[in-house]
Structure 1
Amino acid sequence: MKERIEQLAAGEVLVKKPELDFSPAYLEGRVEAGTVQNKELVIRVRNRVPFKGFFYSTNERVKIETKQAAGQSAAVLFEINTIDLKSGDEITGAVVVVGNAGEQKIEYHYSVGEASGQKAMPHTLTEFGAFYLENPSQARHLFVSDKFKELDFMKDQVQRTALYEGLLEGSSEHQALEAFAVAMELKKPVQLTVQAKTLSFTEEELPQDGIELVVTASTWGWFAAQIKADVPWLIFPQKKITSRDFSNQQGVLTAFADVAKMHNGRNTAHVQIETPMQTLEVCIQVNRDYKGKNTKNALRSDGRPSKAVVRYLYHLLLAYLNESHEETEIFSQMDQCLEENMKKYPASSGLFLYRVWLLAKQERIDEAKKLLAWYSSNLTRISTKRQQEEYLMTLYLQWELTKKEHDKKEAALAALELQKQTDSLVASLVWLMTERDLSDAEKLRQCERLYRIYGAKPIIYAYAAKICRENPDEIRRTGEFWIQLLSYMLRYSCLTAALAKQYLTLPLAGIENAQLLYHVMKRMYRSCKDKQVLTLICSALIRMGKTSPAYAYWFELGIAQEINLTGLNDAFMTSICDQILDRELPNSILLYYSFKNDLDNHTRLNLYTYILEHFPKESDMYQAYEPQMDEFAIRQLLDGRINAKLVPLYDNWLSPSLIDENLGHVLTTLLFSKQITTTLPYAKKVVVHYAQLRPEQSVRINGGEVCIPVYANDAAILFEDAYGNRYADPDMKTVLLMYREELAAVCRQKVPEQLMLMIKESDDFYTKPFANQENLQLAKQLLEKAEVTRSFKHVLTERMVEYCYFHEEQTRELDAWLVSLNPGELTKKTRVYLIELCILRGYSKEAFEYVSAYGSDGISPDLLLKMTVRRITETLYEYSETLITLCVRLLQAEQVHETLLRYLCMHYVGPTQDMYNLLCAAYDAKADSKDLAARVVTQMLFTGKIDHLEEAYEISKKSHCVSGKLDRAVLVVRCHESLMKESVLSQEMQDTLEQLLIEQQDLPEVFSLAILQQYSRQKELSEKSRHLCEQLLYAYCAKGIYMKCFHGLKDIIELPHQMEGRIIVQWNGTPDCHVWLRGELIPRGKKVTYEMQEIYPGIYTAGVFLFPDEMVQISVRCGDGDEEKEVKEVLLDPSSCYCREGSIYGEIQKLIELERKENYDQWKAECAKAIRNREAAKELYVLL
């Protein structure tokens, strides 16, 4: 600027200016919300004239980083601040370039939105659902990012936020997104179906590439399913399928069948496809062909009969031993079977021996002896065990036929010898039947021994049963053998009444194998409804601990028949525990438990619920139960247990007066407990997620129902499966079990510090401002709790600042807390509250720091002015860019203050018009403007924006802040403007110019031209002015420099002779142009051309000499050749030409007049007279 002022002071008004190009010519685009982004404006000079200038922005959100630049090019860096702006906002304004090229504005228009190249963020749930459908991958990335909670449809949605956060705590991001979409009703849950539920193959039909199961999904979206098979021969390489395995909502599962692991015949596999919502079952059958051998009626290699024949004869023998049928009938069937099969199997020794035994029993002794003798004679070889057993049987049958002691002894010795040699059941039985020294008791013990050795052999049971029937006193109840023996006798109907009576009279102590006994007694009770049998049944069940509902029938029968059995009542109550409320209890049971309360808690609860439902409070039964019910309720309550059945017990005795601090802690949990029922089949755990608290609460779920406290109305209730995936169940049912406002009020008094109560009290803090001081104190306490989430603390902080703002006088104690806040974590609205609070309470430094960091949008102009003035005073008018911005903004809002104006006058630099407005405001307010006036004038001169130069210069003179060079520069510019616009100078300027021109030499030429133009408009001049005018005019004319205004001086002074006969044509235009006149003389029609002289930058003149009888139509043209253009057209008339009396031009005019009148004699005389004057001739020559 200094250089430019020196140029102007030297008279160089019209200097060559740089011609600028801007890239881009218009600043526009999209900027991302909530960011600070850098941009660049490039300036280049076209005409090689160096550029010098400064840069400003008209919008405070666009901050210029490059304050000034010089040279042939410059990169103007600026940053755009979109913090606190949202998508859809706009930033408009201009970058103002103030420099030697003048002042220029490059406008900008930026729209705020998502980053360029990214898909626009969804603003509604519907848009998000469409986004999820269109691009699931990007939707998932958005869902798990921090930006998701900042979307419009998530802001201030507490329950939605809790649901979102809770779902993300699960093990699968995909499942969390799907569950969120389903919960928000953006889509239906995915249901799977299979094309075929049963697939059948033969071994040959099994596909080589595997068995394919086609699964179809009902809709789009994420899902995952587990694949299970119940057989080892069916193998699924893929144990889990997800939506990624599907195309067009259809997928294929491949299973491979391992034939080597199959059995012969039909092989059936059940495949389960399990999702959290459903279970699909597919049956796969593979038939493996196998032709087995039919051995039922086949002849065996050793000649023995078929197994069917042997089994039939064996059953007939048992029937005989058991005495279960008529003997003659049994013998008849034996005869028939032996007669048929002995012919078929003549080599079967077993059939011959069986025949001998049968003849002996039929008392056909002779026939039996003959047959046995024949058989014995043919028995030549006795080497194998089977042959030895056959030989032993011949000895036994010999004794049966003869009944001789010798034969009996021989058979017994042979049996004993065979037992020593080999393990033979036949030998053991023969020995038992032939040993004479064994009692019945000893024989039964031997049968028990054989049972332990050979297992459950019917022949052993049959022999033992025969002994018991013959001697009932020998039967025993203890031991597995005896129970099995009893079972055998019941099964084959060989239990006599005497034997059963003896069995039931045995003592109960020491019963073993209760399970077996129970089943035997059940069978026995069906045949005889005996009380003792029922006692044994109940005793066995109690001993086994069988108290499930399936056994309640027996306990109820026992109670009805008044069985005296320890534990019977308890077993009965346990067995009907879950059915107590659905049936009528016997009075004996009710009376029994009115004095005894050792049942388990679950049974007691159902019993007490039965009493409450069936007996009024005034009844004797209720009175009998009331003490133990109250005791039970207190214990359960102190243990923190809650369910729908406990609530009536609690309500029955609980009153506000009983609540103390200890009970209050427990009761708080119970009051807000909800019974939650879900339809999700695979839910293993219910999770309650609060937006306000961490950690979340969870309880394992059993049978689709659970009780858990839920303190906030906006808590998210979620369900988790065994794999950690989480779901929301829109169809779940919730019931608040025992909430009573009077109890809750007492709890709030007794345990005000209980966190969950505090959360409950703050339930509406998300949506409503604080109603009173109590809300404020509650929020303060919650802020100190570590369990409270950061997001909820943010809400509490917002509400507290808001309350402090509207209750400024009542919240002075929170000043320190307010000042300690981080405004960056607050919303824009709350931040404005905080800044205004700081201003009101005198924290101008903190308020100023917040404004510097986050801007002043939304702040009251009055408070902003108060803070700005205070801050200026505190910093002793130290320069601050933020303060400058605030002062300008306040001034634009007509918030005028002397301190503000003084500060701006000291430091503000900006566009010329803005600086001039500031100067005017400071002048009108009589504020100390410092050197602002001089700076404004200087900038006007530097940029060429001189619309208000006069006014600004006048103020600067009054402020005494001008210098000699600045005065000279202003004077030059004013003279230049007067010349170019042909305007009038003030008398003061005229006097100044006259004094300068008289006293000084080498002044700018503009002064001389301007004063001459000024004189031409005046009717008279003083002597001093006239002398100066003549001096200047004659000098210019001597140089051949003419101006149109010179003709205006003819009435004031005598013009030089050079002015005679001249018409002066003048055009004010652009400096350094080629300008000429082109016209045609009238009436001669001669073409004439005159070149115009640039006597001053931008002022072109030409003196056209015309005779009195000539006129010329002249056009002023600018340019060269084809590019010339007409800028002015005039008609030149010689009647206006200046002519002195007696001058040569006057003589010529006379000659022309004489010629016109054809007075040639006088014309000649006058010519001769003129020629005689040499000087005149010389002048005439020049002119002609």
Structure 2
Amino acid sequence: MLDDFKRTCEDHTSPEWGYYLYLCTLMEREPSYVDRLTIEVEQIFKMHPDDSMLFWVLLFLKEEYYQKPAERLEAVRDWMRYDNSPYFYLEAYYLIWQDPYLLTKLGTFETRILYWTAKWGVMTRDIAIQVTGLVAGKKEYHPFLYRILEACYEVKPDDEMLTTVLGYLIRSQCFGAKYHHWYELGIEREIRITSLYEAYLLSLDGRKLERVPKMIQMYFQYDSGLSWQQKAVLFVNIIAAKKIQPDVYQKYLPIIERFAMEQLEAGHVDDNLAVIYDEMFAQGIINADIAHWASEILFTHKVICTDSRAAKIEVYEYACNNADNKEAVIRNGAAYFTVHTKDYCLIMEDIYGNRFCGDIGYYEEPLMDIDGCVKKCMEFAQEELPYILYSMQQKGGEEVDDPDFPGVWAVLKSPLVSDRYKRDVAEQVISFYRKRKYEAGCLTGLDHKLLSTASRRMLMQYLTEEHLYETAYRMAEECGYEHMDTAACVSLCSYAIHTAGFEEDDFLLGFAEYVFYRGIYNDVILIYLCKYYNGATKTMAEIWKAAGEFDIDTFDLEERILSQMLYSTDYIADVEDIYESYVKGGGRELICMAYLSYFADAWLVRDMVVPEYVFEQIFVRYQEGNPLNDACKLGLLKYFSEKEHLSDVMYRASDELLEEYTSQNRYFDFFLEFEKKLRLKYHLYDKAFVEYHTDPGRKIMIHFSLDGEHYEQSLLNEVYDGIFVKEFILFFGESVLYYMTEQEKTEEKITESACLNCRNVPDEESHGRYEMLNDMLMHHAMGERDAQKREMKQYYGMQMVTKEVFHIL
């Protein structure tokens, strides 16, 4: 086979050729031949310095390697920095196995080789002896080194090796439960090594109870450098074995008591301390200081979380202020928290800040016997808030009673208690006081802002019934009065009005208005409302009506009602009675004129039905010569136009007013309703008017046609605010088609269309030219040609006489 490879291999510089040369040295051991091939292999290795096979071959060919194991081991050490081939582990182990003294230190390389040795179970006693000397200086823990020592002890299980293992563990501070068996074995073997007893307790599993060796019990009967957690482990084990070792328990009891008090004062708690505290309370060891220190610790709960996602918990307790919500970090799947009542919830949070309420599995329970301990502690610390909260929630749905009140007031005043819980307690207190009919003065200290609407109503009602008006009114100012009974509102409001000396106050005025709306009131409330109330016109009218039943002076209220109605144009049904009462009370002329003007305008513009007395009073003022505005004068004139018969004074007034407005060229459609004499006097007999009503100041165009085909347009004249008039002269049978347009923003809108007809029948007593023309048209329409010709001759003769007699100046 070697000959075949020699013939076929063409590359004599390849690693395979180098390995072939190594095999040749095994076949032929002549020294000069071996040296020559070794040199050739070295040359090939220089061309392939990373080839593991060539390096391994040289370990057996180079003289300095196979004759000097130390140099050979050093070469392997250097090579294994880059190559972890099992062949080199085996080669290094072989060298150490042959000569353990080659192990002069425990570096990284040596640790790797020894760990490989331990892993494959090929540790020897000689190697273990050598390791014993080297590990003495090691102070840092390394899992490989611990495994090496375990393997060493397996092949050399004597006290010397055990001492080496214990020393290493103590120096590297390895006090976990997994190392406890070493310390336990050291105590059994009575190994003399510093800190062994402390290490035994430090490594003791706090979750297990086991009998503590007597040597440990004696050693720690006096003070030691243990942490409180490890002392607690020791004492719990002593308590657990008190029936088996009662003498040890009795010796340690004073130490345990002193330790428990120190830890209570420091506020420490865990599973072991909870057992110690329970034992202390069971022994009756308690005083005021202990009760005070235990007020928080007693209520500690432990939560065990089965989900690895959970990093911490937040505790939300109904009775506690939200600002004081508690947090606890979860360590090794467990956390501790404090709650005083049963109404709470736990929120889990993972390392990313995500929160979970019901998706993460957990189990929680109190650490201590809360019921038994609280009863004993409350004898010494009744004023402690945690005890009070716990005892109150133990009552369940029962109401508070006399013995509870010291604690109740402490709860209501504490900033640590949530508002919602205070509200529940306060409501029970109010109900209790009312049922027992106790003095209500104590309730004035309640923070009524916390109460629900129903409770505020109950408290304000009770305070008012007990005539504690000042507190009740202060509550009303801060919380409102809407939830009080009507009778209580009347009583409280009347008190407040008297207390204020009937001075104006916005809140009190609103209170009085609210009471009035409820439908039950008294004269005090009505007097106050009559003096100061300004509100809806209808409401003021209702107040006026109610005040009339109590014979209260309503003059100021009447003036406010009338003024507001005139400005708001909010008409009310009782306005006539209110005005009449106001006038009887000596109402101001300005208000009276505004009132009369309002109705006159409404009558003129909107054809509103207006009481007769309005025009009667306007007429009186007109006769007295008092100045009147257009609304009053035109309203009076329209009123006269609808009279079937005018008295002499009315006729004269109508004459004067017609003269005034026609002289101003201001005509209205109702002018045509006057009797014939006035129409003739002011040349109204030949006129027809188109009257249009809208908002004042608008631009109104009339589009009209006399022949029904061609339309003209004209701007309407605004003769009064909102009244526009166009004048036409029409003869018998003529008509005008028209429509109105209003300008709205950018467009014109048609708002009205109609036809104006002239149906004036000529009067036989009238012989003016207009009547004569009307006669001609009427005869023509009726086919009376002879009568038409007579009228035409008569009209022509009148026209000729007029030309002869009258000349234009």
- State TM-score, norm by structure 2: 0.56
Amino acid at match of 1:1080: L
What is the match of residue 686 of structure 2? 1062
Residue among 418, 422, 431 paired with 1:806? 431
Structure 2 residue 643 is matched with structure 1 residue 998:
no
- The one-letter code matched in structure 1 to 2:798 is I
Aligned pairs (5 A) from 1:18-97: none
Structure 1 residues 253-268: aligned runs within 5 Å: none
Letter in 2 for 1:1079: S
Q: Does the 8 Å CA contact 1:638/1:663 hold for their aligned counterparts?
A: no
The answer to whether 1:882 aligns with 2:511 is: no
2:204 is the counterpart of 1:550: no
Q: Could you tell me which residue of structure 2 aligns to residue 376 of structure 1?
A: none
The change in CA–CA distance for 1:924 and 1:577 in structure 2 (over 3 A counts) is: closer
User: Whole-Å Cα distance in 1 between the matches of residues 555 and 564 of structure 2?
Assistant: 16
Contact 1:818 / 1:834 at 8 angstroms: preserved in 2? no
Q: Say yes or no: does 1:1112 pair with 2:741.
A: no
Alignment of 1:1016 onto 2:651: no
Matches within 5 A, 1:165-204: none
Separation in structure 1 between the aligned mates of residue 295 and residue 621 of structure 2, nearest angstrom: 100
Structure-to-structure mapping, 1:461-476, within 5 angstroms: none
Note the alpha carbon deviations across 1:1060-1098, whole angstroms, 9 max, x for none. Answer: 75253241424455665733269xx99898986655444
SS in 1 for 2:587: coil
Partner residue in 2 for 1:779: 408
The equivalent of 2:265 in structure 1 is none
SS of 1:780's equivalent in the other structure is helix
Q: Which residues of 2 match residues 448-459 of structure 1 at below 5 A? A: none
Instruction: Name the SS for the 1:876 alignment partner.
Output: coil
Shift of 1:957: 2.3
Task: Report the more deviating stretch, 728-737 or 926-935.
Answer: 728-737
Tell me if the contact between 1:1115 and 1:1128 (Cα under 8 Å) persists in the aligned partners.
yes
The 1:1163/1:911 distance shift into structure 2, 3 A limit, reads same
Q: CA deviation at 1:931?
A: 0.9
Letter in 2 for 1:1171: M
1:1080 lines up with 2:706 in the alignment:
yes
* Structure 1 pair 797–755 and aligned structure 2 pair: CA distance change class (3 A): closer
Residues 670-718 of structure 1: CA deviation (Å, up to 9, x unaligned): 976767778899x999999988599999999999999999755568999
Checking the alignment, whether the CA contact within 8 Å between 1:869 and 1:899 is kept in structure 2 is yes
For structure 2, the 5+ residue unaligned runs are 1-48, 52-73, 92-97, 102-132, 134-156, 164-180, 191-196, 223-230, 262-268, 350-355
Distance in 2, matches of 1:1002 and 1:686, equals 88
Which SS does the other structure have where 2:688 is aligned? strand
Q: Distance in 1 between matches of 2:441 and 2:577?
A: 47
Contact 1:1081 / 1:1111 at 8 angstroms: preserved in 2? no
Please show how residues 597-608 of structure 1 align to structure 2 within 5 Å: none
What is aligned with 1:870?
A: 495
Give the Cα separation in 1 of the matches to 2:328 and 2:685.
119
CA distance in 1 between counterparts of 2:316 and 2:615 reads 89
| Cα shift at 1:874 | 1.0
Asked if 1:1171 corresponds to 2:798, the answer is yes
**TM-aligned CA deviation for residue 770 of structure 1:** 5.4
Structure 2 counterpart of 1:758: 388
Give the aligned CA root-mean-square deviation in angstroms.
6.8
Instruction: Provide the C-alpha distance between the structure 1 equivalents of 2:659 and 2:337, rounded to a whole number of angstroms.
Output: 114
- The question of whether the paired residues in 1 share the 8 Å contact of 2:706 and 2:736 is answered with yes
CA distance in 1: counterparts of 2:737 and 2:731, whole angstroms: 16
Q: Residue 968 of structure 1 is aligned with which of 569, 593, 609?
A: 593
| Maintained 8 Å contact 1:933/1:961 | no
The 1-side partners of 2:234 and 2:719 are apart by 124
Larger radius of gyration between Structure 1 and Structure 2: 1
CA offsets, 1:971-1004, max 9 Å, x none?
A: 2222222222345654433433433333327543
1:902 offset after TM fit, Å? 2.9
Letter in 1 for 2:563: T
The correspondence of residues 632-647 of structure 1 with structure 2, limited to 5 A, is 636=256, 640=260
Deviation, 1:792, is 1.4
CA contact (8 A) 1:1079 1:1087 kept: yes
Query: CA 1:577–1:1170 in 2, change beyond 3 Å: closer, same or farther?
Result: closer
Q: Which amino acid aligns with 1:1167?
A: Q
8 Å CA contact retained: 2:702, 2:740: yes
Percent identity between matched residues is: 14
Rounded to whole Å, the distance in 2 between the matches of 1:1101 and 1:1074 is 10
CA distance 1:913–1:517, shift in 2 (3 Å): closer
Question: How many Å apart are 1:1056 and its aligned residue?
Answer: 2.6
- Is the 8 Å Cα contact of residues 314 and 326 (structure 2) preserved in structure 1? yes
Specify whether residues 1002 and 878 from structure 1 end up closer, same or farther in structure 2 by C-alpha distance, changes over 3 A only: closer
Q: 1:1004 to 1:764 in 2, by over 3 A?
A: same
SS at match of 1:1113: strand
Q: CA deviation at 1:1059?
A: 5.0
1:951 and 2:596 are equivalent in the alignment: no
Residues 701 and 713 in structure 2, CA contact (< 8 A), matched pair in contact too: no
Distance 1:915 1:1032, change over 3 A: same
CA offset at residue 962 of structure 1?
1.8
- Equivalent residues of 2:302, 2:365 under 8 A apart: yes
* Residues in 1 aligned to 2:366 and 2:626: alpha-carbon distance in whole angstroms: 106
Matches of 1:686 and 1:1169, distance apart in 2: 120
Q: Which residue of 2 aligns with 1:41?
A: none
Displacement, 1:834?
6.3
Of the two structures, which has the highest relative contact order with CA contacts closer than 8 Å and spacing of 6 or more? 1
**Conserved 8 A contact 2:209-2:240:** no
The amino acid of 2:387's aligned partner reads L
Counterparts of 1:408-423 in structure 2 under 5 Å? Answer: none
Q: How far, CA to CA, are the matches of 1:686 and 1:947 in structure 2?
A: 67
Secondary structure, counterpart of 1:1020 in structure 2:
coil
Alignment of 1:841-990 (within 5 A): 842-853=467-478, 863-894=488-519, 896-910=521-535, 912=537, 915-916=540-541, 918-920=543-545, 922-923=547-548, 927-946=552-571, 950-951=575-576, 953-954=578-579, 956-957=581-582, 960=585, 962-982=587-607, 985-990=610-615
Q: What does 1:64-463 correspond to in 2, within 5 Å?
A: none
Q: Counterpart in 2 of 1:1050?
A: 675
CA-CA distance at 1:933 after TM superposition: 1.4
Residues 212-264 of structure 1 show CA distances to partners (whole Å, capped at 9, x for unaligned) of: xxxxxxxxxxxxxxxxxxxxxxxxxxxxxxxxxxxxxxxxxxxxxxxxxxx97
Q: Residues 633-672 of structure 1: matches in 2 within 5 Å?
A: 636=256, 640=260
Query: CA separation in 2, counterparts of 1:967 and 1:776?
Result: 66
Q: How big is each residue's C-alpha offset from its partner over 1:905-926, in whole Å with a ceiling of 9 and x where there is no partner?
A: 3223345555455545545665
Match of 1:1158 among 785, 790, 794: 785
**Inter-CA distance 1175–1005: structure 2 relative to 1 (3 Å threshold):** farther
Task: For residue 554 of structure 2, give the secondary structure of its aligned residue in structure 1.
Answer: coil
Deviations 1:24-55 (A, max 9, x none): xxxxxxxxxxxxxxxxxxxxxxxxxxxxxxxx
Unpaired runs of at least 5, structure 1: 1-202, 206-262, 269-283, 295-307, 312-455, 457-515, 523-545, 556-569, 613-621, 721-726
Name the SS for the 1:995 alignment partner. Answer: helix
Aligned residue type for 1:1159: D
